[in-house]
């Protein structure tokens, strides 16, 4: 049984840079979301760079039980879903004297593909 308390539990998330993902930081206690945001800065962002903060009341978080987590384990038979299953193409393209457009190459096209030399 939990005692009556005006404190509520909030999970804190923050972004380091405009392009980064929100990352879970920790939890804290606060009477409401507004104070939770202030506390989040005081508790977790005294030094590191931060551009945005979310606080989420823990009662709104739906998670998995210990048993359901076991269902997350994957069998190692999904080559057709990943680039790993198509690795043989590299050799094929070499035969045709062409380079492979792999993940590294494709993601390097960001920003118009202009590489900093």
Partner 1 sequence: MSVATQLSEQKLQEQFEARIAAGDKIEVDDWMPEEYRLALIKLISMHGISEIMGALPEKEWVPKAPTLYRKLGIMAKVQDEMGHGQLLLRVAEDLLKPYGKNRGDLMIDLFEGRLKFHNVFHMETKSWGDAGLIGWLVDGSAIISQTNMLGASYGPYARALQRICAEEVFHAQHGEAIIMALAEGTPEQRELVQDALNRWWESLLFFFGPETKDTTGTSKQDVTIKYKIRVLSNEELRQSFLTKYIPRIQSLGLTVPDPTLHFDEAQQKWIYEQPNWEYFKKIQRNEGPCSQERLTLRRSSYENNAWVREALTALAN
How far is it, in rounded angstroms, from Cα 112 to Cα 110? 6
Residue 65 vs 82, nearer CB to partner 1: 65
Residue 29 vs 51, nearer CB to partner 1: 29
Asked whether 25 and 12 are in contact (CB, 8 A), the reply is yes
Q: Is 57 exposed, middle or buried (0-12, 13-18, 19+ CB in 10 A)?
A: middle
- Smallest gap from Cβ 74 to partner 1, in A, equals 17
Asked whether 83 and 102 are in contact (CB, 8 A), the reply is yes
- Smallest gap from Cβ 40 to partner 1, in A, equals 11
Residue 34 vs 105, nearer CB to partner 1: 34
- Smallest gap from Cβ 29 to partner 1, in A, equals 7
- The residues of the shown chain that bind partner 1, judged by CB under 8 A, are 1-3, 5-8, 26-29, 31-35, 42-44, 46-47, 57, 63, 65-67
Residue 2 vs 103, nearer CB to partner 1: 2
Q: DSSP string spanning 50-68?
A: -SEEEEEEGGG-----HHH
Residue found by looking up tokens 């993601």 in the block: 107
């Amino acid at each position: 049984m939990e005692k009556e308390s005006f404190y509520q539990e909030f999970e804190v998330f923050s972004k380091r840079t405009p392009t980064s993902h929100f990352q879970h930081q920790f939890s804290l206690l606060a009477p409401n979301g507004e104070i939770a945001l202030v506390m989040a800065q005081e508790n977790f962002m005294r030094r590191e760079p931060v551009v945005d903060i979310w606080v989420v009341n823990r009662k709104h978080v739906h998670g998995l039980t210990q048993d359901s987590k076991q269902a997350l384990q994957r069998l190692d038979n999904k080559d057709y879903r990943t680039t790993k299953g198509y690795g043989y193409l590299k050799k094929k393209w070499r035969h045709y004297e062409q380079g492979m457009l792999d993940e590294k190459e494709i993601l390097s096209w960001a920003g118009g593909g202009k590489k900093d030399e």
